[in-house]
């Protein structure tokens, strides 16, 4: 990552335009002591001067002699891995630079900082990389590295900034460079270790030689650590954490291919079974399981499609000849008899025209190309697999490409209890060797040995309210959850459930119809106890073969006798299934039923268990009621400060497709933007607007139109009453983009007021809060554009006394609030763990109040956010993020499965020449029953 871009995390932060921290922190709740995984940074040499250099590294050829061919044009290096290899070699080749290099940190590409100035002359040095160095081309082994001074700054500026001394807030630009310099210096040591995988924009480090955890289908999880500097209200601190990331298994490429598609072989990983609904952010299903017969035989079209999706951009090396270079898989080849390449004999006189030879013919004629299998068996594989290839370490797997099985296995294998994670992080600190690090000593940096102790509070849970006619309209909330027994939904489904059906994907002998009918009877009975209205208690039940999903789904749907537009289809699965493919067809009206269809999936294994079936049905009906336009419960008004009946709440998010490596800006896929609003009825139901927009753009292009539509709908519901305040929760904006995104989106909101009321008299107050469970960083993907990658923040909180203030899993009690010690020096931010951690260590969400026209105090906004976290309509427990932002995120993630084709080589929205209308998705989502508009949750 180029640090001149990351500097945006601070330099674009103009504090004059953003809400600042109130003078007093919050006071609501029970005080507790917690430990946070940051360690204080002390500067023992505050008078030091930081020298900033631009670093240019290019391939080098000596000046040719008279009559010689001109040297090829120098090429800039393309990645930080090569940059670090060259950097390590510089002091060996040029001893005069040793003092400066011992005091310098380098980001791997363009930026270096040192407290000892580099020699003014010469400014360029030639470095020769030893033969056989991993990933280095034999064509270019000489490189010229040039240092150009950018400027210098006193370290004291950084100290003043984080300590809020005098006018330090105005020095954000200068302090940004100083903070980034310290951040790079802290990460310089591990990033320079040979063989270490550097990931997460230079902040995560993994050792590929350590044994990874096999999670199936050629994927392994590597354990490593995270390290980064953070400015806080008590000074600069080092954030340390243990991390796990999925990577492609190393080894023979054909074996990796076989493992991915589930063929048996003696490859690097165990083959996975049948894939299922994608896990994590936007996963889109797995692949077919093993077919028997070993690994021989041509790959089928389905397998090739899966390999394209999983392997595009993978780095490999050849093994049929000595070659340290890494090659990238860009596409898939024709059958070996049709795929040709140009062949020129080595000893043939020049010039000689090369001849086109097929891979199969070359192999059969004795040309030593060393393919992995005989041509008869190698009919369709990747281009790289024609020759002996080896998958190299470091091929990360985006979360969006993981199957549900892989995601489940990763969670199971990597989840750590809080006490275990705390112990691991402290061991990581003890083994880091900060005290003896030459570079840190040169900078006078001292790292605290103990975690930061923080004064926190446990916020009181709000009152959850059901329909007044319930036996238990106000259930007791404990540890972030409550029981639905004896309660009725606040607002049942808008239209009685009449036109619905059940489709079973499985064999009738395995799932008898009588068993399905018995479950439906229990489901309908439970719906009645919750106040839902079911007009047709005996829906049609039909079967579809689970191995021919969409074809049989369409036939099964058409066989059902509906009186009107179908309201709901209950999908019963006997095993993992391509869930999103079914959803896409139901939404896109591709089944010939006249309208998109709400659906609800159930697993037969869970649905047909007699034990706790009533609880399973209640959980299922919460989702069904929301999909049919109902509202399950509300939060007591007393627990929602400054949230009145005239407040409209908006949630917004943008989700981006994973980068298509090796393709730069060609056919850059669309991003998906969603804005969700609450309804004027006072329920916690919502509406949504969703758009496709320019790929990897974080601000929402059509925010004005989307907000205008939601405002008009809200005003219509309230019979003409306009809201007097707007509360926005925005997911996924980094500190460096706060000003730019907020300027655009707040301006769009204000223009929407004008669209609704052209007189300009209506000017409700705007309050804008950023939710940051993930953060966004800039990443360079080509010379002409930037992408943005989302990563999880790494602030973790632990009970100082693990025998107190923890839940049954050892996590902090839901409602734990942190608004001191580790928060930003100037921004109005806080950390909240609103939910119970069911697996592993629970994680806080960071909230940043950046616009505060209603003059929220710390108590106001903290209580409001904590209470709203109990309003997620799909579970009787609090969630980790305010639901309206959660819904926006879910809408984006669901929409992406409707937009992006499963074939990694294409995107449904196409490139620049084949894009749909931006509101295409909106037209698919909008549906009504007569005058009733349904919640956007109908398709989730």
The structure tokens 């074939």 sit at 903
User: Count of CB atoms within 10 A of residue 473's CB?
Assistant: 16
Q: Is the pLDDT of residue 137 over 80?
A: no
Residue 660 has pLDDT above 80, yes or no: no
Distance of CA 107 to the CA centre of its chain: 24
Provide, rounded to the nearest whole percent, the portion of the chain with pLDDT above 90.
54
CA distance 823 to 20: 12
Q: Report pLDDT for 362.
A: 64
728-753: average pLDDT = 89
Q: Do residues 674 and 687 make contact, with C-beta atoms less than 8 angstroms apart?
A: no
Q: How do residues 401-456 score in pLDDT, each as one tens digit?
A: 888 789 989 999 999 999 999 999 999 999 999 999 999 999 999 999 999 999 99
pLDDT score of 132: 75
> Using CA atoms, how far apart are residues 712 and 726, in angstroms rounded to an integer?
13
The partner residues of 206 in beta bridges, in order of sequence, read 197, 224
Q: What is the mean pLDDT of residues 22-26?
A: 94
Q: What share of the chain is helix, strand, coil (3-state, %, to 5)?
A: 30, 25, 45
Where is pLDDT greater, at 549 or 230?
A: 230
Tell me the average pLDDT across 809-832: 96
Q: What pTM was computed for the model?
A: 0.88
Instruction: Assess contact for 390 and 316: CB atoms under 8 A.
Output: yes
Angle at 331 (CA atoms; ends 327, 335), nearest 5 degrees: 110
Taking a C-beta distance cutoff of 8 angstroms, is the pair 749, 652 a contact? no
Q: Average pLDDT in the 80-106 region?
A: 94
Q: Give the C-alpha distances (Å, rounded to integers) separating 547 from 506, 553, 577, 579.
A: 9, 11, 9, 13
Rounded-to-integer distance, Cα 606 and Cα 564, Å: 31
User: Distance between CA atoms of 748 and 632, rounded to whole angstroms?
Assistant: 32
Helix or strand run (H / E) with residue 746:
helix 738-756
DSSP string, 883-933: HHHHHHHHHHHHHHHHHS-SSTT--TT-STTSPPPTTHHHHHH--EETTEE
pLDDT for the residue numbered 552: 65
- Distance spanning both ends of the chain, measured CA to CA: 36
The answer on pLDDT for 633 being more than 70 is yes
**Rounded Cα gap, residues 724 and 765, in angstroms:** 6
* Each residue's pLDDT tens digit, 762-819: 999 999 999 987 543 333 222 333 333 344 689 999 999 998 889 999 999 999 999 9
Q: Higher confidence at residue 344 or residue 472?
A: 472
Q: Which residue has the higher pLDDT, 722 or 398?
A: 722
Q: Please, are residues 836 and 74 in contact by the beta-carbon 8 Å criterion?
A: no
Tens digits of residue pLDDT in 530-582: 999 999 999 999 988 655 555 666 777 777 778 877 889 999 988 765 666 66
Assess contact for 101 and 90: CB atoms under 8 A. Answer: yes
In what helix (H) or strand (E) does residue 10 lie, and over which residues does it extend? helix 8-11
Q: Which residue has the tokens 């949230």?
A: 643
pLDDT in tens, 833-873: 999 998 899 999 999 999 999 999 999 999 999 999 999 99
More confident residue, 8 or 46: 46
Q: Name the one residue in this structure whose structure tokens are 């203030």.
A: 805
């Amino acid at each position: 990552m180029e640090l001149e871009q990351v500097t945006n995390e601070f330099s674009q932060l103009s504090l004059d335009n953003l809400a600042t921290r109130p003078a007093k922190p919050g006071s609501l709740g029970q005080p507790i002591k917690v430990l946070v995984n940051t360690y204080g940074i002390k500067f023992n040499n505050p008078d030091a001067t930081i020298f900033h250099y631009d670093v240019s590294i290019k391939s080098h050829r000596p000046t040719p002699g008279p009559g010689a061919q001109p040297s090829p044009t120098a090429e800039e290096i393309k990645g930080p891995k090569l940059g670090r290899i060259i950097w390590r070699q510089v002091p060996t080749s040029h001893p005069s630079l040793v003092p400066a290099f011992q005091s310098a940190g380098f980001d791997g590409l363009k930026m270096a900082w040192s407290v000892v100035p580099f020699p003014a002359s010469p400014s360029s040095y030639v470095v020769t990389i030893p033969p056989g160095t991993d990933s280095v081309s034999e064509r270019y082994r000489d490189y010229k590295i040039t240092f150009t001074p950018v400027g210098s700054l006193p370290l004291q500026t950084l100290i003043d900034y984080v300590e809020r001394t005098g006018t330090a807030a105005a020095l954000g630009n200068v302090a940004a460079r100083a903070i980034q310099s310290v951040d790079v210096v802290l990460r310089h040591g591990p990033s320079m270790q040979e063989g270490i995988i550097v990931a997460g924009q230079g902040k995560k480090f993994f050792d590929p030689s350590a044994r990874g955890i096999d999670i199936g289908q050629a994927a392994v999880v590597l354990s490593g650590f995270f390290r980064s500097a953070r400015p806080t209200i008590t000074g600069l601190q080092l954030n340390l954490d243990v991390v796990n990331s999925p990577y492609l298994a190393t080894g023979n490429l054909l074996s990796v291919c076989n493992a991915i598609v589930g063929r048996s072989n003696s490859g690097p990983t165990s083959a996975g079974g049948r894939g299922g609904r994608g896990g994590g952010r936007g996963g889109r299903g797995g692949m077919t399981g093993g077919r028997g017969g070993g690994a021989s035989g041509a790959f089928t079209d389905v397998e090739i499609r899966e390999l394209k999706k999983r392997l595009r951009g993978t780095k490999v090396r050849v093994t049929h000849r000595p070659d340290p270079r890494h090659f990238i898989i860009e596409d898939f080849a024709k059958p070996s008899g049709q795929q040709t390449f140009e062949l020129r004999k080595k000893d043939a006189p020049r010039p000689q025209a090369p001849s086109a030879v097929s891979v199969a013919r070359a192999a059969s004629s004795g040309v030593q190309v060393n393919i992995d299998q005989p041509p008869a068996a190698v009919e369709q594989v990747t281009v790289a697999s024609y020759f002996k290839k080896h998958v190299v370490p470091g091929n990360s797997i985006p979360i969006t490409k993981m199957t549900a099985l892989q995601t489940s296995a990763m969670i199971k294998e990597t989840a750590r209890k809080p006490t275990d994670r705390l112990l691991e992080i402290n061991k990581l600190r003890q083994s880091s060797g900060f005290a003896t690090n030459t570079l840190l000593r040169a900078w006078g940096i001292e790292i605290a040995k103990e975690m930061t102790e923080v004064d926190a509070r446990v916020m009181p849970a709000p009152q959850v309210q059901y329909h007044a006619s319930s036996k238990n309209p106000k259930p007791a909330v404990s540890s972030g959850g409550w029981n639905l027994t004896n309660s009725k939904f606040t607002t049942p489904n808008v239209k009685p459930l009449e036109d619905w059906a059940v489709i079973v994907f499985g064999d009738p002998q395995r799932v008898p119809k009588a068993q399905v009918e018995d479950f439906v009877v229990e489901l309908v009975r439970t719906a009645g106890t919750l106040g839902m209205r079911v007009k047709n208690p005996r829906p049609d039940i039909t079967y579809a073969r689970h191995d021919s999903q969409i074809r049989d789904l369409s036939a099964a749907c058409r066989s059902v006798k509906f009186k009107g537009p179908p309201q709901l289809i209950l999908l019963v699965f006997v095993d993992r299934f391509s869930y999103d493919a079914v959803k896409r067809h139901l939404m896109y009206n591709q089944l010939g039923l006249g309208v998109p269809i709400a659906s609800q999936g159930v697993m037969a294994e869970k649905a047909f268990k007699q034990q706790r079936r009533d609880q399973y049905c209640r959980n299922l009906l919460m989702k069904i009621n929301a999909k049919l336009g109902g509202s399950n419960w509300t939060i007591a008004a007393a627990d929602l400060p400054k949230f009145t009946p005239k407040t409209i709440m908006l949630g917004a998010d943008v989700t981006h497709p994973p980068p298509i490596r090796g393709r730069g800006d060609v056919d850059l896929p669309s991003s998906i933007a969603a804005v969700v609003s609450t309804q004027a009825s006072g329920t916690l139901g919502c509406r949504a607007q969703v758009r496709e927009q320019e790929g990897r753009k974080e601000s929402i292009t059509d925010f004005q139109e989307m907000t205008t539509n939601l405002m008009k709908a809200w005003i219509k519901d309230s019979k003409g009453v306009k809201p007097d305040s707007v509360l926005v929760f925005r997911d996924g904006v980094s500190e460096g983009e706060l000003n730019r995104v907020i300027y655009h989106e707040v301006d769009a909101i204000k223009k929407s007021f004008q669209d609704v009321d052209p007189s300009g008299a209506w000017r409700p107050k705007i309050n804008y809060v950023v939710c940051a469970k993930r953060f966004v960083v800039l990443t360079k993907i080509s010379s002409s554009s930037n992408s943005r990658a989302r990563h999880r923040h790494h602030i973790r909180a632990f009970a100082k006394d693990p025998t107190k203030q923890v839940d049954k899993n050892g996590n902090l009690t839901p409602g734990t609030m942190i608004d001191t010690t580790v928060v930003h020096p100037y921004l109005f931010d806080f950390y909240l763990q609103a939910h119970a951690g069911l697996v592993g260590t629970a994680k806080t969400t960071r909230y940043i109040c950046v616009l505060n026209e209603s003059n929220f105090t710390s108590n106001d906004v903290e209580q409001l956010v904590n209470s709203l976290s109990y309003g997620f309509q799909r579970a009787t427990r609090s969630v980790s993020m305010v639901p309206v932002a959660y819904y926006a995120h879910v809408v984006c993630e669901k929409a992406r499965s409707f937009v992006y084709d499963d074939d990694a080589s294409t995107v449904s929205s196409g490139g620049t020449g084949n894009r749909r209308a931006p509101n295409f998705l909106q037209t698919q989502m909008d549906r009504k029953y007569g005058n009733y508009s349904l919640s956007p949750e109908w398709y989730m």
